[in-house]
Amino acid sequence: MTQSSASTPLSYKDAGVDIVAGDALVERIKPLAKKTMREGVLAGIGGFGALFEVPKRYKEPVLVSGTDGVGTKLKLAFEWNMHDTVGIDLVAMSVNDVLVQGAEPLFFLDYFACGKLDVDTAAAVVGGIAKGCELSGCALIGGETAEMPGMYPAGEYDLAGFAVGAVEKSKILTGADVKAGDVVLGLASAGVHSNGFSLVRKCIERAEAAGTVPATLDGKPFKHAIMEPTRLYVKNVLAALAAHPIKALAHITGGGLLENIPRVLPEGLAAHLVKGSWPQTELFAWLQKTAGIDDIEMNRTFNNGIGMVVVVDAANAEATAATLRAAGETVYTVGVIAAQGAGEQVVVA
């Protein structure tokens, strides 16, 4: 008598979830996470919850949190099989946001979801996450890998993560003391970072159809220039914050220069940026030409070459810029703060 299909034993692996592969990934991750450990970590990878003690050097610690993903940049990672840097993007998008409050990132957790777990791909992604944490002095303290058959197409995954940082209550950056006459410094971006990729992908499609994809941009192979990870500003900006009375910081993400700078400006003030005070890279020139968009759209869609904005008193601008340059940042004096007229809070002219 044959056994009916309804009574045939089914394992979790038959249903599409490979516990052995998940365990193998955890073992691959552990040494990567270990390299990110720092003061405060009490228990990290492996537990149901990760434990972290706020360093005792803080007298009145305020916790600052941020969360983000990588967006449709992942579509290119899948298409081009380039998985080793999107983890850096994931970390950078959160820790740079935490940084603008004046906070030191303390720890990070990630969420990796896929339809079928490919251990090598997942390990490459998490390797990038660990690298991002290491470069920003932030512990990779935990995370979640979810294998969900039927939820994602073969070869695709999604990423999310969040960072928690701390700042002395008296040193929280709010932008409240920004005034007319203050100087706006711009820190160069590494490229597109992680915003605007729906338009970037359309530009690539248009160029491929026309056979006009450049071999290189800014001295890098085309695909590497496009996928260059988001710059981690944490260590250098924290050093500048310790040495200079910085008034405000703005991470230039979705919405570009035009929508992110106003988030740290008091009502009635505007940032007047000088067009041409920082160079347009080959990458952004190519995107603008291929998309056929004007300067306003460029500055609203992309960071356009400036990944972080620093607002300082005019008397401190030169010294602050010098500290940041000595640390390895490319710094431009891009404008000044002035009284807002009838127009926008950011003017580029």
> What is the sign of the dihedral through the CA atoms of 278, 279, 284 and 285?
positive
Residues 105 and 160 in one domain: yes
Instruction: Indicate if the pLDDT at residue 2 is higher than 70.
Output: no
Residue with tokens 């248009």: 206
Among candidate residues 137, 171, 205, the one where a domain is terminated: 171
What's this model's pTM, rounded to 2 decimal places? 0.93
Q: How confident is the model at residue 247 (pLDDT cuts 50, 70, 90)?
A: very high
Based on the domain organization, do 191 and 149 belong to the same domain?
A: no
Domain that holds residue 44: 14-171
The residue among 108, 143, 171 that closes a domain is 171
- State the total domains in the chain: 2
Cβ(237)–Cβ(311) below 8 Å: no
Residue 7 within a domain: no
DSSP 239-290: HHHHHS---EEEE--TTHHHHHGGGGS-TTEEEEE-TTSSPPPHHHHHHHHH
The more confidently predicted of residues 302 and 19 is 302
Q: In what order do the strands lie in the sheet with 139-147?
A: 61-69, 157-168, 104-114, 139-147
Mean pLDDT on 156-169: 97
- Judged on CB neighbours under 10 Å (0-12, 13-18, 19+), 156 is middle
Mean pLDDT of 215-226: 97
pLDDT of residue 1: 43
Q: What is the mean pLDDT of residues 108-120?
A: 94
Residue 8 lies in a domain: no
State residue 263's pLDDT score.
95
| pLDDT score at 5 | 56
Residues 68 and 167 in one domain: yes
